């Protein structure tokens, strides 16, 4: 593995742990905390937010759900895949349960990330166009390979695990109808499905050998794409030469990734002196592939049902940035204020011409002020993507802030040391111990 890939793996894995811990310490994580209490049985795997361990598949369910519940987890933009919320959750639980070394955990995490990115790249935008989240339906199969890898399954067993995972693939986009929190289950269920698939395959269950290219396989059934399997075959030829994990983007706002460049653009307007009270109207130019998620229907975007639902609302987050001066975890823990909603009603959207979505997450905002002087800002790609990579110190600052929401004082330092030393760790005891030093709920 290249040093650059290993470095990226540690940062993305640490980021995923921090996001999951932040969710465990947030209102949106309550369903997982309560479920974790019921599943915690002294098992070998860590369920984030719990001091007591659980079975591997159960821990994967809780952790994947938590890692995705704040919309703060990393994204491979070209494939529109949230890789770590599935792959880190599956890899951690199986590695802990099997007594793996830190290097084995990281190695399987990287391989799983490459696979899930390739699944998305083989049918870019295709899963979402059919109403499925790619992270979930493709993630179940990628997680199965991770679990099979760490559990030492044979080739035949691993193929069976893929087929078994296919029958568990799920994750529809209907959550957008009211911004419901069930979207987070997409990652948790995918991780759980993969771990369970490997267990069943090891126990002798069989699965179809054509889970990818078959008539009702992953690509034809969920992406309606007959050419995707062949594109995947071509992409697989670059395994070990072209790496995709280092291209994955870190997120620095806890909301839909498509919104991030618009938040940045609004921040630039604010830095130029634009104030909410001065705004006459704002026009946001939105890539067609993103509009169905953050704009349509516009009436719903203007009036999200809950604070959490605003994580997918273009007018609310743009207005929030101008009114409140920031967009952070607290933004989505309560409904938008009257002032934010008032500004949101002065915002509209139009299609962005010649957009490069999903290779780039672009944004254009034009603001008409009461002074009559228009202001325009263009963002060519989202901050944190591989075209605009963040410093490692920035990722670690995010991690420490997030982890402190769930861990007792001192445990964040211990977890930092354990996670950064994974490559040479003979076991995962230090990592597991630090993760379980949680606050009282």
Which pLDDT score is estimated for 373? 84
Average pLDDT over residues 6-23: 98
Residue with tokens 């996670």: 419
pLDDT, averaged across the chain: 97
Which pLDDT score is estimated for 74? 98
Which pLDDT score is estimated for 2? 83
Which pLDDT score is estimated for 440? 83
Burial class (CB in 10 A: 0-12, 13-18, 19+), 366: middle
Q: What confidence category does residue 332 fall into, taking pLDDT thresholds of 50, 70 and 90? A: very high
Residue with tokens 């002065």: 346
Q: What confidence category does residue 86 fall into, taking pLDDT thresholds of 50, 70 and 90? A: very high
Beta-bridged to residue 75, according to DSSP, are: 249
In this predicted model, what pLDDT tens digit does every residue of 227-286 receive, in sequence order?
999 999 999 999 999 999 999 999 999 999 999 999 999 999 999 999 999 999 999 999
Which pLDDT score is estimated for 83? 97
Residue 308 in this model has a pLDDT that exceeds 80: yes
Closest Cα partner for 80 from 334, 382, 306?
Answer: 382
Residue 441 in this model has a pLDDT that exceeds 80: no
- The model's pTM: 0.96
Structural fold of domain 3-252+387-435:
2-methylcitrate dehydratase PrpD (1.10.4100)
Residue 221 in this model has a pLDDT that exceeds 80: yes
Rounded CA-CA distance 282/345 in Å is: 9
Average pLDDT over residues 186-205: 98
Question: How big is the chain by its Cα radius of gyration, in Å?
Answer: 21
Residue 399 in this model has a pLDDT that exceeds 80: yes
In this predicted model, what pLDDT tens digit does every residue of 48-80 receive, in sequence order?
999 999 999 999 999 999 999 999 999 999 999
Rounded CA-CA distance 290/280 in Å is: 25
Beta-bridged to residue 294, according to DSSP, are: none
Average pLDDT over residues 146-171: 98
Within a 10 A sphere around the Cβ of 4, how many other Cβ atoms?
11
In this predicted model, what pLDDT tens digit does every residue of 202-211 receive, in sequence order?
999 999 999 9
Which pLDDT score is estimated for 393? 98
Rounded CA-CA distance 439/49 in Å is: 8
Average pLDDT over residues 303-331: 97
Percent above pLDDT 70 for the chain: 100
Which pLDDT score is estimated for 226? 96
Residue 1 in this model has a pLDDT that exceeds 80: no
Burial class (CB in 10 A: 0-12, 13-18, 19+), 55: buried
Q: What confidence category does residue 103 fall into, taking pLDDT thresholds of 50, 70 and 90? A: very high
Break the chain into its structural domains and give their ranges: 3-252+387-435, 257-379
209 phi and psi, to 5 degrees?
Answer: -85, -5
Closest Cα partner for 138 from 242, 213, 222, 239?
Answer: 222
Within a 10 A sphere around the Cβ of 240, how many other Cβ atoms?
10
Q: Which two tokens stand for residue 298?
A: 């516009």
Common-topology check for domains 3-252+387-435 and 257-379:
no
Residues 6+ apart with CB under 8 A from 84: 12, 13, 15, 16, 67, 73, 74, 113, 248
8 A C-beta contact, residue 281 and residue 219: no
Beta-bridged to residue 172, according to DSSP, are: 132
Which class is domain 257-379? alpha beta
Average pLDDT over residues 26-34: 95
Which pLDDT score is estimated for 28? 93
Eight-state DSSP code of residue 366 = E
Q: What confidence category does residue 168 fall into, taking pLDDT thresholds of 50, 70 and 90? A: very high
262 phi and psi, to 5 degrees?
Answer: -75, -35
Please list the alpha-helical segments (H only) found in 124-259.
126-129, 134-151, 155-166, 183-202, 218-222, 228-236
Give one word for 161, left, alpha or beta, with left for phi > 0 and alpha for psi -120 to 50: alpha
Angle (CA) 244-247-248 rounded to 5° is 95
Which pLDDT score is estimated for 78? 93
């Amino acid at each position: 593995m290249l040093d650059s890939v290993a470095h990226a793996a540690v940062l993305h894995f640490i980021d995923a742990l921090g996001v999951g811990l932040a969710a465990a310490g947030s209102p949106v994580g309550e369903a997982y905390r309560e479920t974790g209490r019921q599943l915690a049985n002294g098992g070998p795997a860590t369920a984030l937010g719990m001091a007591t361990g659980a079975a591997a598949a159960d821990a994967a369910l809780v952790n994947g759900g938590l890692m995705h519940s704040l919309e703060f987890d990393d994204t491979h933009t070209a494939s529109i895949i949230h890789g770590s919320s599935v792959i880190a959750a599956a890899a951690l639980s199986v590695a802990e349960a099997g007594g793996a070394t830190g290097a084995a955990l990281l190695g399987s995490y990287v391989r799983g990330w490459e696979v899930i990115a390739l699944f998305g790249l083989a049918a870019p935008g295709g899963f979402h166009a059919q109403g499925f989240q790619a992270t979930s339906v493709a993630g179940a199969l990628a997680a199965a390979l991770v679990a099979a890898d760490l559990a030492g399954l044979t080739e035949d067993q691993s193929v069976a695990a893929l087929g078994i995972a296919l029958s568990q693939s799920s994750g529809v986009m209907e959550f957008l109808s009211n911004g419901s929190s069930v979207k987070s289950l997409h990652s948790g269920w995918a991780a759980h499905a993969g771990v369970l698939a490997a267990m069943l395959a090891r126990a002798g269950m069989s699965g179809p050998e054509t889970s990818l290219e078959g008539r009702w396989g992953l690509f034809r059934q969920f992406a309606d794409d007959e050419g995707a399997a062949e594109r995947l075959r071509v992409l697989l030829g670059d395994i070990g030469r072209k790496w995709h994990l280092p291209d994955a983007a870190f997120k620095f706002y806890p909301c839909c990734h498509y919104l991030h460049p618009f938040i940045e653009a609004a921040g630039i307007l604010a830095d130029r002196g634009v104030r909410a009270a001065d705004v006459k109207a704002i026009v946001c130019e939105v890539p067609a592939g993103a509009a169905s998620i953050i704009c349509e229907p516009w009436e719903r975007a203007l009036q999200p049902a809950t604070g959490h639902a605003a994580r997918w609302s273009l007018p609310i987050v743009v207005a929030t940035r101008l009114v409140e001066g920031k967009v952070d975890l607290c933004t989505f823990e309560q409904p938008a204020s009257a002032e934010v909603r008032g500004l949101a009603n002065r915002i509209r959207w139009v299609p962005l011409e010649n957009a490069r979505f999903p290779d780039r997450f672009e944004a254009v905002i034009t603001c008409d002020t009461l002074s009559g002087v228009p202001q325009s800002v263009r963002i060519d790609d989202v901050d944190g993507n591989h075209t605009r990579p963040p410093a490692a110190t920035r990722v670690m600052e995010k991690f420490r802030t997030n982890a402190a929401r769930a861990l007792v004082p001192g445990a964040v330092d211990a977890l930092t040391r354990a996670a950064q030393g994974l490559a040479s760790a003979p076991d995962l005891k230090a990592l597991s111990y630090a993760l379980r030093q949680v606050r009282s709920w």
